[in-house]
Amino acid sequence: MWAVALSWAFLAFFRFNPIPDKPIAWDTLGYYLPLVSTFIHEDPLLTDKTWLVDLNEREQLTGTLYQVTTSPQGKDMYFFFFGWSYCYAPFFAIGHCIAECTGFAADGFSLPYTMAIMWGGLVYLAIALWYWRKVLMLFFDDQTVAISIFFIALGTNFVNHTSTDNLSTINLLLMFMAVLIWHTIRWYDNGRGVHLVGILVAWIMMTLIKPSETLVCLIPLLWEMRFREPRSLLTAFRRAFQRPLALALGCGLVVMLLLPQVIYWHSMTGRWIFDSYQNPGVGLDWTAPHIFEVLFSFRKGWMIYTPMMAFALVGWIFFFRKHRQMATVLGVCFLVFFYVVASWSEWWYGGGFSQRTLIPSYILLSFGMAAFIGQLRQSRKWLRIIGFATMWCLLLLNQFQWWQFKSGILDPYRTTSAYYKAIWLATQVPPGSDSLKLVHRDFAGAEALDQSHYRLLQMGSPLLQYSDTVWSNAEWNGELKFAMEELTAKDHLWFEAEVELECQCPAHEAPLMVFFTQHKGVYGYQAKPFEATDTTQVYRGKFRYMTPEMRSYKDRIGVHLWNRNKVQFRIKQMIIRAYEPLSQWSDRQ
């Protein structure tokens, strides 16, 4: 318990040192929206997002309002599910009461709200640590458990995502994972109904926080499965139906927690089940997992930035020798979870530290860590010295790299192997090292093409050049598409279009130049207006477009003219060029 308390105290200190200016931003803002919209603006359906647009323009909480998606009927609706809001609603209520009583702005974002929400994250962390210890204590001695928790809590990316970033979903998923595993073990030990209820509630909450986490149901379902005996899969169902009252109560709670979400979906879309994660640019690509990148890429490689967990993987051998059945089931579950993580097209998962989505699985992997430490404690003295000295070195390395991450030295988006070597143990960014990173992508799409770092494709000739003498009033014109993989082996291209058109219309009605990328739908969409010339009804434009993070290099990059008002126009000239980066760090990784 001292190890748990000490770990929590360190993480709480990191959370408030310093106190962040904008803890509710980016993804957290999206999860928080239902609380503010419902209880501050009395608009639970988010029918008017004007306040959100004004707030973001004033406070700059997010680059784009991706936290709000659109229903098939064109209505604004929440992008994220309600699970996070359920968990933080009590702390939102506490912050609201304090704001009302102390004169702070009761707007959902003043100091009482942010402090209450941050303390809420620490409360859930304490619950996670408590259950985590209870689980490990069923199989290992107290000192081994203490050492395991301490080294994982402070020697991995766990330290970032449960302290300074503890309002992300990871903190909650970690807690519910610990709760689910505890109740699963106890359910199969004594069959008490309370544990069945705990399993069902933990499962539905993880699903409502992050839909892909619904796969945690594999843990209780496979717990007593013998993989050579398929019928043993039915064990979990047979045991559940032996406790009909507990099963009814658990299912009732599942329905109660799920009901607000499905009612909201139905009111906004007419469907009881709706996938709000509809983004052609990001998604699960089951046949193209990024396994090597997730493990070893210098951009976010798990083993690069969290090498401490290698001991947990090695320790699985020792754990398997003592608990073969349990190790097999949990090992299979972890491999499934890992495959899902690696199959997400945006495998680096935003601006987190290392592979944040694997942190809930640390509860599973801690069995391997504890088994390794238990084996190490029983080894010869010189092995113990070398083993624990290595672990301490990795803990210190993790703390230092985390400091680099928080200080802006370690880039969360653009790090390459060359840049990583340049900042190794550095306390400031080396001069000129920015050129060693991946290309800079501005969230507002304000990148600029520096032609000194690019070469024109097709040996200096335009990719396409044509003109058209035919007048048209069609809405879509001149559409051209190019397959990325057919053009380059680099991770991005710049496209440049020089277009001159003649239009029998005023400037505000002229067509727009549109760039897009396509993967079973359009993403990376940009529409840009032409500029009028001195010549009546002639419009010219020089437009540039950098390809987005490609979901697949089979995706097609396209361009067309969007004649919104269906006016009469013709293309006098259209030249398309493509520029490929010269840097070796732009090769696909």
Percentage of the chain lying above the pLDDT 70 cut: 99
Within a domain: 433 = no
Instruction: Characterize 13-26 residue by residue with b for buried, 16 or more Cβ atoms within 10 angstroms of its Cβ, and e for exposed.
Output: ebbeeeeeeebbbb
Residue after which a domain boundary falls, among 401, 417, 438: 401
What is the model's pLDDT at position 400?
A: 98
Within a domain: 367 = yes
For 307-376, what is the HEC assignment? Answer: CCHHHHHHHHHHHHHHCHHHHHHHHHHHHHHHHHHHHECCCCCCCCCCCHHHHHHHHHHHHHHHHHHHHH
Per residue in 43-79, pLDDT (tens digit) is 999 999 999 999 999 999 998 899 999 999 999 999 9
Q: How many CB atoms lie within 10 A of CB 251?
A: 15
Residues 469 and 382 in one domain: no
Mean pLDDT to the nearest integer, 322-340? 96
What is the model's pLDDT at position 589?
A: 58
Within a domain: 439 = no
- Whether residue 279 is predicted with pLDDT greater than 70 in this model: the reply is yes
What is the model's pLDDT at position 194?
A: 97
Residues 367 and 508 in one domain: no
What is the model's pLDDT at position 581?
A: 94
Within a domain: 423 = no
- Whether residue 421 is predicted with pLDDT greater than 70 in this model: the reply is yes
Residues 221 and 362 in one domain: yes
Residues 338 and 455 in one domain: no
**Cβ pair 257, 251 in contact under 8 A:** no
Helix, strand, coil fractions of the chain, as percent rounded to 5? 50, 15, 35
What is the model's pLDDT at position 258?
A: 97
The band of 293, judged by pLDDT with boundaries at 50, 70 and 90, is very high
pTM of the model: 0.94
**Backbone dihedral angles phi then psi of residue 494, each to the nearest 5 degrees:** -105, 135
What is the model's pLDDT at position 295?
A: 97
Per residue in 159-213, pLDDT (tens digit) is 999 999 999 999 999 999 999 999 999 999 999 999 999 999 999 999 999 999 9
- Whether residue 588 is predicted with pLDDT greater than 80 in this model: the reply is no
Domain assignment of residue 374, given as a range: 2-276+286-401
Residues 455 and 344 in one domain: no
Q: DSSP string of 136-185? A: HHTTS-HHHHHHHHHHHHHHSTHHHHTTTTTTSHHHHHHHHHHHHHHHHH
Residue after which a domain boundary falls, among 401, 424, 439: 401
Give 544's strand partners.
496
Residues 459 and 395 in one domain: no
From CA 526, how far away is CA 43, in angstroms rounded? 31
Residues 263 and 327 in one domain: yes
**Cβ pair 207, 83 in contact under 8 A:** yes
* Token output for 512: 């727009």
Secondary structure class of 531 (helix, strand, coil): strand
What is the model's pLDDT at position 459?
A: 63
C-alpha pair distances (Å), 184 with each of 43, 135, 196? 39, 10, 8
Within a domain: 187 = yes
Within a domain: 418 = no
Residues 35 and 139 in one domain: yes
Instruction: Please indicate whether residue 466 or residue 364 has the higher confidence score (pLDDT).
Output: 364
Measuring CA to CA, which residue among 574, 519, 118 is closest to residue 282?
Answer: 519
Which residues contact residue 388 at a Cβ distance below 8 angstroms, ignoring those fewer than 6 apart?
376
CATH of the domain at 511: 2.60.120
Per residue in 536-565, pLDDT (tens digit) is 789 999 999 999 999 999 999 999 999 999
Residues 395 and 461 in one domain: no
From CA 182, how far away is CA 219, in angstroms rounded? 11
Mean pLDDT to the nearest integer, 305-326? 97
- Whether residue 227 is predicted with pLDDT greater than 90 in this model: the reply is no
Q: Is the dihedral of CA 267, 269, 272, 278 positive or negative?
A: negative
Within a domain: 441 = no
Residues 458 and 390 in one domain: no
What is the model's pLDDT at position 212?
A: 94
Computed over every residue of the chain, the mean pLDDT equals 94
Per residue in 452-485, pLDDT (tens digit) is 899 998 766 788 888 888 899 999 988 889 999 9
Q: Please tell me what DSSP assigns to residue 533.
A: -
**Cβ pair 281, 225 in contact under 8 A:** no
- Whether residue 382 is predicted with pLDDT greater than 70 in this model: the reply is yes
Residues 467 and 368 in one domain: no
What is the model's pLDDT at position 460?
A: 66
> Hunting for tokens 């507990």 — which residue is that?
246
Within a domain: 417 = no
Residues 152 and 270 in one domain: yes
Tally of structural domains, the chain: 2
Q: Is the dihedral of CA 527, 532, 533, 539 positive or negative?
A: positive
